[in-house]
Amino acid sequence: MEKDAASFVDDLVNEKIEGKSFTKKLDDIMKDPAKVMQPVYDYVEGQLNLGKLAYGEVKASDEDVAIRLETNLINLPFQDAKVISKMMQDQETLPVNVYLVISSPWVNKSSLRIDEVASADDYVGNVANYLDQMNNWVAEHLDMVKENLEKQPEEK
In percent, the amount of the chain with pLDDT more than 70 equals: 97
Q: Mean of the pLDDT values across residues 138-142? A: 97
Q: Mean of the pLDDT values across residues 33-62? A: 97
- Domain membership of residue 156 (yes or no) is no
Is the pLDDT assigned to residue 53 strictly greater than 90?
A: yes
The pLDDT assigned to 156 comes to: 44
Domain count, the chain: 1
Is the pLDDT assigned to residue 151 strictly greater than 90?
A: no
- Nearest to 97, CA basis, from 124, 57, 79: 124
In percent, the amount of the chain with pLDDT more than 90 equals: 79
Q: Mean of the pLDDT values across residues 6-35? A: 94
Domain membership of residue 92 as a residue range = 2-151
Distance (Å, whole) CA 66 – CA 20: 12
The pLDDT assigned to 153 comes to: 55
Q: What is the pTM of this model?
A: 0.93
The pLDDT assigned to 97 comes to: 97
Burial of residue 74 (CB within 10 Å: 0-12, 13-18, 19+) is middle
Tell me the per-residue pLDDT of 57-71, one tens digit each, with 9 for 90 and over.
999 999 999 999 999
- Domain membership of residue 141 (yes or no) is yes
Q: Mean of the pLDDT values across residues 11-22? A: 92
Q: Specify which residues 116 forms β-bridges with.
A: 99
pLDDT band for position 154 (cuts 50, 70, 90): low
| DSSP E strands, 7-111 | 18-24, 54-60, 66-72, 93-95, 97-103
Tell me the per-residue pLDDT of 63-112, one tens digit each, with 9 for 90 and over.
999 999 999 999 999 988 888 888 888 888 999 999 999 999 999 999 99
Is the pLDDT assigned to residue 11 strictly greater than 70?
A: yes
- Domain membership of residue 35 (yes or no) is yes
